Structure 1
Amino acid sequence: MDLNLRHVRAFVSVAHLRSFTRAAALLNLSQPALTVQIRRLEEALAVRLLDRTSRSVAPTRAGRELLPVFQRVLRELDGVVVDTRDLAARRHGIVRIAALPSVAAGLLPDAIAGFRAAHPRMGFVVKDVIAERVLALVRQEEVDLGVTGGEVRDPEVTVLARAADALHVVYPDGHPIGEVASVTLEALAEHPLVLMDAATSVRGVVDAAFVAAGRRPVTACEATYMMTAVGMVRAGLGLTILPGSAREIRAEPALRSRPIAEASFSRPVCLIAKAGRTLPAAAEDFLEELIPALEAEFAGGG
């Protein structure tokens, strides 16, 4: 059975208006053409839908039963068409983005606020996860964009922009590390450290720097979230190493931070998308806000 939507719309119009003349005018058709469309729909369904006399038109019992079904189908289809046109015209949409927690709490809120000021009907879904999850979410197309840490070498992913986030040591006010001329790896190796989880991009940078120097850090404990690491530093368990962009660094008035004066303590930050896929219009537009925000946030971070 081959149902033609024009034929369905013709039947709904006649049944609603109870007039071929008015329905033909509404649909901008001649009455003979409208009659042909109704007949073809009846042939496709193998049932009579309308009883027509010289004075009136009325749906048959089958027509009355099918009318609400056809009306719902047309409403839903018309809604899809309107929504699709709105998306294409960038009047509304949803941007799905996965980002490192430091980025999700740092540059992302202001970038989203700036974008929504110009596009108030745009919505966002933000997943704040560690670097491995950002990459996986982009690869699986669960998000449109990702901001991840570390170098990205994955044929399934396209890097749209790159930046660098200098790492800082975070310590209690009055700690000896605050008195050294510059914070080096050798200076860090002298103190217990609260390290981030091994799956995080920060930990990858720290481990690589210590391995390259032939040293091992003195590990007091590990934490998955930066705020947890900050709390451990506040409790006197050791120093921690966090990205300079992390808002957690400024969350505790009794703690201080200093950049680490070695190039190896710099975390690459990449804005990524699924390779070979067309971005939704909303995500494409948001890039115009996000890329400058990324560049400003990490200016001089390398």
Structure 2
Amino acid sequence: MDLTFRDVRAFIAVAHAASFTRAATRLNVSQPALTVQIRRLEQTVGVRLLDRNSRNVTLTPAGRELLPVLQKSLQDMEHVLSDARALGEGTSGTVRLACLPTFAASVLPELIQDLKQVVPRARFYIRDVVADRVNALVRSEEVDIGLTGGDLSDTAFEVLHAGVDRLVVVCPKEHPLARGRRVKLDELARVPLVLTAQGTSVRAVVDAAFENCGYAPEIACEPTYMMTAVAMVRGGLGVTILPATAREVLAEPGLVARPIGDQAFVRPITLIKKRGRTLPPVTEKFIAAMKKKIGATRRRS
């Protein structure tokens, strides 16, 4: 026979009230039912816990020793139940997210602040990595959801949201490409380019666009991070191609962004989870807020 919350709670109530009648009133149960609970508890632990006569109820020596132990156990389990309910209701828990650095440096901080106002106990585990690593982290379940870029055909993932991120040319204000409202692909093919490294989602889009049109880009540098690419553009090494939503696009007052007049320069953005996995309720709330925020950001860009 196992200990039950009700039996332990009944014993503690009787011990504190020193009366079955008063304890039954506090617990809103009948006195016979309370008596059954106490007897059941005593049978479970194998020792008498209460001495009862016509006038009062007192703890036995075993009852005195077990009372603080059972009180602490009850409090601990009540805390466990409270925490479990909070997790189930989405009022606490950890959002485990892998995402592209573009998103981490732009929308994500504000999104976290917004959710923390609604769910103060929410915690966040964030990995800002390139698209291939996002997919790997979701697959290995180190994170629950991932915001990744590029085409996604892997059946191991379930798509929660899909959108696009338009790419722009970032160049110095005095650069010839800055004079027009849009940049043509053949113009890009004639200038040195600072492109993010192979394996990044932006690079995959750029390479595919040039290959489809039969152009061979002149690649001056291949940094991993967008901020490095911007620094190289500022240093006169070439122009770069970045998502329009990237904070790095506006990080330098001496640089400007120009849209590219070719529909191929669009990066797919996909929010994914591992297929068949249940997400924590707090993560579901985060996803709903993320979709809304991404949609608003895309409409402004």
Contact 2:99 / 2:129 at 8 angstroms: preserved in 1? yes
Contact 1:202 / 1:267 at 8 angstroms: preserved in 2? yes
Q: 1:63 to 1:129 in 2, by over 3 A?
A: farther
Cα distance in structure 2, aligned partners of 1:196 and 1:60: 76
Q: Find the counterpart in structure 1 of residue 266 from structure 2.
A: 266
Q: Find the counterpart in structure 2 of residue 121 from structure 1.
A: 120
Q: CA deviation at 1:174?
A: 1.4
Q: Report 1:84-123 matches (<5 A).
A: 84-117=84-117, 119=118, 121=120, 123=122
SS for the counterpart of 2:65 is: helix
Partner amino acid, structure 1, of 2:175: H
Q: Find the counterpart in structure 2 of residue 238 from structure 1.
A: 238
Partner amino acid, structure 2, of 1:151: D
SS for the counterpart of 1:228 is: helix
Instruction: Give RMSD over aligned pairs.
Output: 2.7
Q: Report 1:142-157 matches (<5 A).
A: 142-157=142-157
SS for the counterpart of 1:97 is: strand
Q: CA deviation at 1:249?
A: 0.8
Tell me the percent identity. 53
SS for the counterpart of 1:127 is: strand
Q: 1:17 to 1:130 in 2, by over 3 A?
A: farther
Cα distance in structure 1, aligned partners of 2:133 and 2:189: 30
Cα distance in structure 1, aligned partners of 2:197 and 2:18: 71
Q: Find the counterpart in structure 1 of residue 277 from structure 2.
A: 277
Count of aligned positions: 300
Q: Report 1:1-302 matches (<5 A).
A: 1-117=1-117, 119=118, 121=120, 123-125=122-124, 126-179=126-179, 182-299=182-299
- Structure 1 spans left out of the alignment, 5+ residues: none
Give the TM-score normalised by structure 2: 0.86
CA offsets per residue over residues 207-240 of structure 1, 9 Å max, x none? Answer: 2223333444333222222111111211122221
Cα distance in structure 2, aligned partners of 1:19 and 1:144: 52
Cα distance in structure 1, aligned partners of 2:245 and 2:152: 20
Cα distance in structure 2, aligned partners of 1:132 and 1:76: 43
Partner amino acid, structure 1, of 2:218: V
Cα distance in structure 2, aligned partners of 1:48 and 1:216: 88
Q: CA deviation at 1:252?
A: 0.5
Cα distance in structure 2, aligned partners of 1:300 and 1:216: 33
CA offsets per residue over residues 67-96 of structure 1, 9 Å max, x none? Answer: 222222211222233334445555555444
Give the TM-score normalised by structure 1: 0.86
Contact 1:182 / 1:261 at 8 angstroms: preserved in 2? yes
- Structure 2 spans left out of the alignment, 5+ residues: none
